[in-house]
Structure 1
Amino acid sequence: MFDPQRAFSQLTPADTPNAVTWACRHVVDVLRQWRVSPEVIEAARFITTELATNAIGSPDEGWSQAGSYSARSPVGTITISLSFAGSTLVVSVCEPIRQAEKERTVDRGSLLAAVMSHRWGYYCPTPTSKVVWAELLLGGPSGSSPAAGATAVASRRAGAAGVVSEPLLLRRVLVGLRQL
């Protein structure tokens, strides 16, 4: 029987571009096994996509033009974790801190995770690694659907800033950003 108090899953792929695909597949498969609502699964998948994409870096951040297994192209790992904390699902990605990132704490993926999640943050467990995490509400007030809490929080945050107050519009914007 599924016990949300003991639910934990972790995947540690190489920090190569295909890690994002494997991370998303892992998140969707695990959350389906845990019988999480489709709305929360989609939000977790989107957050994982953004955080894993940031974690693997880009050609501008040190990827060489050499082949994936070349000695000139060092490959590390990232770690994607899923866990429950009370009525929230925590999605986290542990990544190496690259030289170009030492001063940067917020990026596109972090900003999108902030909009899609109830809470988010980061910490550095070691001088050479950073963990970025996001919490998704599994149950809204008065028995609403599990994703309603995350959608309501995103809507309130955007509405308070005077930018977007309609969740469907926000979703279309995020889908457009994903296709860039």
Structure 2
Amino acid sequence: MLAATPNAVAWARRHTVDILRTWSFPTEGTEVARLLVSELATNAIRHGRPLGTAATDPAVPGTILLRLWQTNGGVVLLVGDNDPHLPAPRTPGSSATGGRGLLLTSAMASRWGYYSRHPHPGKFVWAEIPARPEGALGDQRRGQQETTPLLLGQVLTALREL
């Protein structure tokens, strides 16, 4: 469980990488998991405040939940928040600074979904990552780097961090 504050995203990434290294998870799968945890945690923080609390009230940060578990061929990432509204992928304009998190999740995960925390308020969003994702780091065709969901995720993450 993490406080729903901006630095929680960095903690979620660190925790994910540490756990996956402990599990000897392949580097390319770890990189995809790191990017997706960043996206899911960012979304959860935006929506992780207790019900009835204004999103601009820094005195009440709320919490998010992060869980990871191994599957036969990969890992499942799960991030929970207190917002009962279900996630809906958007189609942001080319100049939009956000709104691509679920599109990236859909492109980079082998599958993803969400479910309500009923009877409690909120939801869980999950993504399954294969140990060796398609288009992983180091994959090349004819001497050129292929544009893959992983590469796009890395570029978008780097741009956001500028």
The answer to whether TM tops 0.5 is yes
Task: Calculate the aligned-residue CA RMSD, in Å.
Answer: 2.5
Q: Take 1:38 and 1:21, find their aligned partners in 2: how far apart are those partners?
A: 18
Q: Take 1:115 and 1:173, find their aligned partners in 2: how far apart are those partners?
A: 10
Aligned pair 1:128/2:121, yes or no? yes
- Structure with greater Cα Rg: 1
What residue number does 1:77 align with?
63
Q: Take 1:33 and 1:104, find their aligned partners in 2: how far apart are those partners?
A: 31
Poorly superposed stretches of 4+, deviation over 3 Å? none
Correspondences of 1:4-153 after superposition (within 5 Å)? 12-57=1-46, 62-64=54-56, 68=58, 70=59, 74-97=60-83, 102=85, 104-106=87-89, 108-126=100-118, 128-138=121-131, 147=132, 150-151=133-134
CA deviations on 1:100-130 (whole Å, 9 max, x unpaired) are: xx36533522221111111111111225111
8 Å CA contact 1:83–1:91 kept in 2: the answer is: yes
For 1:132, give the aligned amino acid. V
Which protein has greater RCO, CA pairs closer than 8 Å, 6+ apart? 2
What residue number does 1:174 align with?
153
Check 1:104–1:132 CA distance in 2 against 1; reply closer, same or farther (3 A cut): closer
Structure 1 vs Structure 2: percent identity of aligned residues?
Answer: 35
What residue number does 1:159 align with?
none
Taking structure 1 as the reference length, the TM-score comes to 0.67
The SS at the match of 1:151 is coil
Taking structure 2 as the reference length, the TM-score comes to 0.74
Q: How many residues end up aligned between the 2 structures?
A: 136
The gaps in structure 1 that reach 5 residues or longer are: 1-11, 139-146, 154-165
8 Å CA contact 2:13–2:38 kept in 1: the answer is: yes
